[in-house]
Chain A
Amino acid sequence: MNGETDITGAGGVPDPVTADLRLSVNGVPRPVTVDTRETLLDTLRESLGLTGAKKGCDHGQCGACTVLVDGRRALSCLTLTVTADDVEIVTVEGLADGDALHPLQAAFVENDAFQCGYCTPGQLCSAVGALAEAAEGWPSAVTPGLSAPPRLDETEIRERMSGNLCRCGAYPGIVAAVGQVAR
């Protein structure tokens, strides 16, 4: 698709359209001017210095960019920042309470739930979201029925975490860590 548009003619390519936003990230107001084409992932990483959320595919296929938006899992690479000005964003940098790790963070270290660490922030945010979804009774594709709240056994955890790829293959540790916190 390269070079198919005529950019030499009248009008050419317009200047970028920007918007002034006041994001709320990890409980902190973050005023920022963004290009309207900009994804939340790029804003977090390139403008706000919050490089915890990772870019693994930029197409919503790997989960490395997962953050929490109003408590729900969201793929920040598929979220335009201009749509995120009235929501609460939490990234991996916002999970710990000061020096005290979030129980999932501690469980990931304890269970060696990562190797290279690049998918880890997304796995952690996804796990926080998954536990909240289960606590609210959301079923998954492997939940046996809708009459009882889902029980977070190993298969449920594997299914609910299956949007987050880990090429190192740290899944046994990830599943164990999430299970440890779920109990």
Chain B
Amino acid sequence: MSETVLSDSTSPARATAPVDERLAYRSVFQRLLIRPEIGALIGLVGIWVFFWATSVPFGTANAAASILDVAATLGIMAVAVSMLMIGGEFDLSTGAMTGAMGILIILLVKEVGDLGGAGLSLFIAIPISLAVALAIGFFNGWMVEKTLLPSFIVTLGTFFIVKGAKLGFSKLTVDQIQVGRIDEGAGYSFWRPIFAAEWDRTKHQYEYRDVIYTLGLIIGLMIIAVAVFELFFQRRGERRPTGALAFVIGLAGLYGGVAVLHLTDGYGGNLLASVMFGVFGLLAVVGLGYWRYEPVGDRGRLSLDGTVSRPLVLAVVLFALAIAVAMILDATNNESLFFPFTEQGLRATLFLFLIGGSMTLMLIAGIRARRLSITTKTLVNLVSAAMLGLLAFFVRSQSDSIKFRTEAFSVLLILATIVAVWSIAGVLFAERTAIDRAADRLGGRLFIIGSLLVVVAFLAKLLFTTTAEIDAGLASSKFSMRIIWFFGFTAVMVWVLGRTRFGSWTFAVGGNKEAARQVGVPAARTKTQLFMLTAGAAWLVGMLLAFRLNTIQASTGDGQEFEYIIAAVVGGTLLTGGYGTALGGALGAIIMAMAQLGIPYSRWNSDWRFMFLGAILLIAVVANRFIRNKAEALRR
């Protein structure tokens, strides 16, 4: 997201030709909304909340470790496959390649003998296996370029060859359909930590963890809030110091509110904290705005038309329905009713979907109301805030689970406060309507700093434990090295796609290969390199699997290639090429891992798993398209 902000601000063409519709100014939210991965991001949060609500252990660090463990190998491949799909090609051999590379490395290091391989050191075997992977990738690209056949067909052939070779070589060398014992290879102790180290959370106690978490989260979010202001509102020529003073007092008050929330445990404490959040948040926001930004000129009059009132009314109806569902269904009945649902599961699911629908409609109403007048928009948003607040107290009063009574209550109240404060800020200060390079730069940097702080806060919470938690008997949870490979690979690929010439070429050859070639893009080379990238990613996953499992089945990875493609599509990459992101593939993989593990976490029968996955896929694709259309429409 931070990159969005920067990429638009640093584009040199922007200021010179403002008449072009494509170069018209877009606000920070519009820029965010037209990102291809925004649908996946919303889906990620939605599905997390869904399973958090239906399953007791889903929100724990343990579950996070499991989900990321599953998502890592899937995600590395999904990111690479996303890039290839942006480049307009498919690779069906990716799944089988992961297992093949795992088998290859083991056969290379296995002892020479009756049942054995080449007996090489891992220091030699690892580069050799990488070279083999890249050669297969090169072959795929070369075949596609030379024969001009669809890559779907060519790589289907490669898929069968690789799959057959896995089985054939396994049986030829060890007479088994599995190949094992990489740990006998020379250099194993050096390479194992690189591919398969584990971080055991229970062995790392850090008593100040919660302090770091709370401070990092709050300061990070505040900096992000300031960044959003900077990016969204029109700077004024002359600053007002009184505003700055009010801003600082507001911040201090918010800090006090957090302290109250943390130090007290009860209804009164939460109420006091929320009042403090409201009052001091407002003070900080108004102070910040008064200090730096232009006041709004024309607020317009209150006016409602069908485009706004319809979603508004529907949202209220859904909201009432959700409340009714929660009141009628029994929260304690754990018997299966139909499908995989127990009565309480059904209650949670219906409630969440209805509330989710209601809030989405309120968001739509709010966006549409912007076109009518600022006053209307503010009123609609205040209604949203009121609904969120009401929801917070309803959840608190109706729920038996401690999770809902505390965490959900606080989050909802804070959300309500943010929406309310934001609507008030919107009625006081003027939106920016033109590009302001200095403001964009500052806002972008603040955004990055704030995001980093939030990330640090979450990392502290996930990676460390406290004595209190250990005393409460928490299960051990291990974060595996592959998660770092996953994040690192994703970060590098996001950079490659967004910042390098190769990235631009990828979009160009995927959009229109002939046109790209005619303007001088080396189309054949770019596509071949993309095939080598997916093969290289498969090699990486093969290493991660081999060092983790020690034994690889000949069937490993078969059929997974479609999961990679699904993850890429869920992440907002188009099947037709030329559009998509690397980050989206990673988010798609996390969504799929959550969906897959959420079902056993919720104690549902996994017979329904594929139905669920299919539904997520459809919803994701439809939502991506919907959001993109809405965002495009907003620009006009």
Q: Do A and B bind each other?
A: no
Query: Which residues from chain B sit less than 8 Å from chain A, CB to CB?
Result: none
- Chain A residues engaging chain B, CB cutoff 8 angstroms: none
